[in-house]
Amino acid sequence: MKKLAGKKIALLGSRKIDEMSKLVQNQGGVAVSRPAQGTALLKDDKLKDHVEMLIEGSFDWVIFTTGIGVETIYQTSFDMNRSDALISSLQKTKIAARGYKTANSLKRLEILPAVRDDDGSMAGLMRELSAYPLKGSKVALQLHGDPAPQLKQWLEENQADYEDILPYIHIPPEEKVMSQLLSELLDGELDSVFFTSTPQVRNLFSFARERNAKEQLKVCFSGRTVALSVGKVTAQALFEEGISRVIFPEVERIGSSVIELARYFSSEEGT
């Protein structure tokens, strides 16, 4: 029997749902889509100005923090008929990348980062960047709707001159979807919830708090429903919400997460 046979898994991401569903189904589980994170691309004049600055080599360093950020900046340059110029310029610029999705997106563009995080987190990126003198450097900081206060403070302490680039923002998820998700959790209908980003964690628990259901939600995750995280960073957001049982892989990968969950349920049922 497959290890997730009979298990109902809620997927909270808004991208690659078919791929994630297939991974769950391959282990015998039933995947349901409950997007708890909205993403809005910002193809505005400000972003076009930033693309031009990147092309002109206006920055000593470019810090990319998400794969979709890389892809949106590239697509904007493509729409401007400037994609070749962008790639050429970035290949000559010192690049720092956080997360494997970011690194993979850069690799597809044949751009090799000078610096990679050591654990998928902003803290890991800062540790690796600390080997480089940044005083007086002009830094482009690609963000994704979160302000990244620790990274900004670190750049300021290292006397770097940074500028935010915001290719997209996270928008609130649909209330109908969140209401359905919360009801399914409180009614014990879900065996696991798969979180693939920190905004999904914040959105679910904020929604529960607004409805005075935060403590009930915590009980759910200590009982039947298992919190599954794509990696350490998202897991930390769950720990901060008071969830102590979180399953996640050592290396941040969607497929590895599903395998870890299958192992967990197999182990539990074996005991």
* pTM for this model (two decimals): 0.74
User: What are residue 169's DSSP bridge partners?
Assistant: 40
- Return the minimum-mean-pLDDT range out of 40-49, 53-62, 154-163, 192-201: 40-49
Residue 270's identity, in one-letter code, is G
Task: Compare 38 and 109 and report the one with higher pLDDT.
Answer: 109
Q: Is the pLDDT of residue 27 over 80?
A: yes
- The 10 Å Cβ neighbour count of residue 187 is 9
- Which domains does the chain possess? 8-37+173-270 (3.40.50.10090), 40-170 (3.40.50.10090)
- Return the minimum-mean-pLDDT range out of 41-45, 79-83, 206-210, 223-227: 41-45
Render pLDDT for 122-141 as a digit per residue (tens, 0 to 9): 888 999 999 999 999 999 99
pLDDT of residue 136: 96
Across the chain, mean pLDDT equals: 91
Q: Is the pLDDT of residue 270 over 60?
A: no
Q: Is the pLDDT of residue 116 over 50?
A: yes
Residue 213's identity, in one-letter code, is A
Instruction: Read off the pLDDT band of 271 (50, 70, 90).
Output: very low
Task: Compare 232 and 215 and report the one with higher pLDDT.
Answer: 215
Render pLDDT for 155-184 as a digit per residue (tens, 0 to 9): 999 999 999 998 877 778 999 999 999 999
Instruction: Read off the pLDDT band of 232 (50, 70, 90).
Output: confident
Contact present, 260 and 232 (Cβ < 8 Å): no
Q: What is the mean pLDDT of residues 238-244?
A: 94
pLDDT of residue 42: 66
Render pLDDT for 43-55 as a digit per residue (tens, 0 to 9): 678 899 999 999 9
Q: What is the mean pLDDT of residues 52-67?
A: 96
pLDDT of residue 40: 66
- Return the minimum-mean-pLDDT range out of 11-15, 78-82, 146-150: 146-150
> Three-state secondary structure along the chain?
CCCCCCCEEEECCCCCHHHHHHHHHHCCCEEEECCCCEEEECCCHHHHHHHHHHHCCCCCEEEECCHHHHHHHHHHHHHCCCHHHHHHHHHCCEEEECCHHHHHHHHHCCCCCCEECCCCCHHHHHHHHCCCCCCCCEEEEECCCCCCHHHHHHHHHCCCEEEEECCEEEECCCHHHHHHHHHHHHCCCCCEEEECCHHHHHHHHHHHHHCCCHHHHHHHHHCCCEEEECCHHHHHHHHHCCCCCEECCCCCCHHHHHHHHHHHHHHHHHC
Q: What is the mean pLDDT of residues 240-251?
A: 93
Q: What is the mean pLDDT of residues 98-103?
A: 88
